[in-house]
């Protein structure tokens, strides 16, 4: 356990937004195997926005519901529209990691019911947006980064607020709650590279309480 040698680095990046550097490192291979198992049943796909654009980030989900977008809008759905099957269950190790990270950031009793799994290949990006499709914004969102590093943009409550750039690396966990829950945020185009465990891509898990 690396935390026997160095205390975990905690970086406050906003009001109730806490970066727990390396928090997921000890579980990285278990998380990656779980992602592969999820993707074997609910394949990564590039969804279409309501505006008709294909997203550059490929996505899948696990949990009771999954986030989807198509020409009709954004929503949480109990079944994968690609297969018609329910999303794979959320692995216990996922829910435990998310609950523990939320506790460490001061949010007790976070029990996620949805996990969106994003897959970035070089060039993929996520433009500034708010996460507003969940029922109750009092629940935090927990994100876990794996693979190639990315530059995260942490903005404000208005799209026009100039975003802060935060590098996110393999194993980083971020908890976003309180006033930071509704900030505009995004990810700059992924730079090419090769991660020893993950290869030429980046995964991001976002744990939410959607219902």
Q: Does 204 bind ligand MD3 (CB under 6 A)?
A: yes
The dihedral of CA 92, 172, 45, 47: what is its sign? positive
* Interacting residue with ligand MD3 among 76, 94, 176, 207 (CB under 6 A): 176
| Phi, psi values for residue 94, rounded to 5° | -70, -50
Return the number of other C-beta atoms located less than 10 Å from residue 148's C-beta.
23
Name 63's Cβ contacts closer than 8 Å, sequence gap at least 6. Answer: 87, 89, 90, 112, 113, 114, 115, 210
By beta-carbon proximity to ligand MD3, the closer residue of 24 and 183 is: 183
Which of 174, 175, 198, 210 contacts ligand MD3 by CB under 6 A? Answer: 174
The conformation of residue 139, written as its DSSP 8-state character, comes to: S
Site for Fe ion in 113-142 (CB under 5 A): 131
Q: Tell me how far apart the alpha carbons of residues 15 and 26 are, in angstroms, rounded to a whole number.
A: 27
Q: CB 136 → ligand MD3: shortest distance, Å?
A: 13
Question: Which stretch, 20-28, 87-95, 158-166, 174-182, contacts ligand MD3 (CB under 6 A)?
Answer: 174-182
Residue 60 engages ligand MD3 in binding (rule: CB under 6 A): no
Angle, helix 28-41 to helix 92-104, in steps of 10 degrees: 130
Of 44 and 118, nearer to Fe ion (C-beta) is 118
66 DSSP assignment:
E
CB of 24 to ligand MD3, least distance (A): 13
Note whether 25 and 32 are within 8 A (CB): no
Per the listing, tokens 């590093």 go with 149
With CB under 5 A as the rule, give the number of residues binding Fe ion: 1
Query: Interface mask (CB under 6 A) for ligand MD3, residues 130-169, using x and -?
Result: -x---------x-x--------x-----------------
List residues near ligand MD3 by CB under 6 A.
Answer: 116, 118, 126, 131, 141, 143, 152, 174, 176, 180-181, 183, 185, 187, 204, 206
């Amino acid at each position: 356990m690396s935390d026997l040698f160095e205390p975990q680095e905690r970086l406050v990046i906003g009001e109730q937004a806490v970066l727990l550097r390396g928090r997921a490192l000890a579980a990285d291979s278990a998380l990656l195997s779980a992602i592969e198992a999820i993707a074997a049943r609910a394949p990564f796909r590039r969804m279409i926005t309501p505006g008709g654009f294909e997203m550059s980030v490929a996505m899948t989900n696990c949990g009771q519901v999954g986030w989807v977008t198509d020409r009709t809008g954004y929503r949480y759905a109990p079944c994968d529209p690609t297969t018609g099957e329910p999303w794979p269950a959320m692995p216990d190790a996922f829910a435990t990691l998310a609950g523990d990270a939320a506790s460490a950031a001061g949010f007790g009793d976070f029990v996620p019911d949805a996990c969106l799994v994003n897959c970035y290949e070089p060039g993929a990006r996520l433009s500034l947006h708010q996460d507003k499709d969940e029922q109750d914004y009092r629940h935090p969102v927990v994100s876990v980064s794996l693979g190639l590093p990315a530059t995260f943009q942490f903005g404000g409550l208005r799209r026009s607020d100039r975003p802060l750039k935060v590098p996110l690396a393999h194993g980083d966990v971020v908890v976003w709650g309180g006033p930071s829950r509704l900030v505009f945020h995004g990810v700059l185009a992924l730079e090419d590279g090769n991660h020893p465990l993950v290869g030429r891509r980046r995964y991001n898990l976002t744990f939410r309480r959607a219902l």
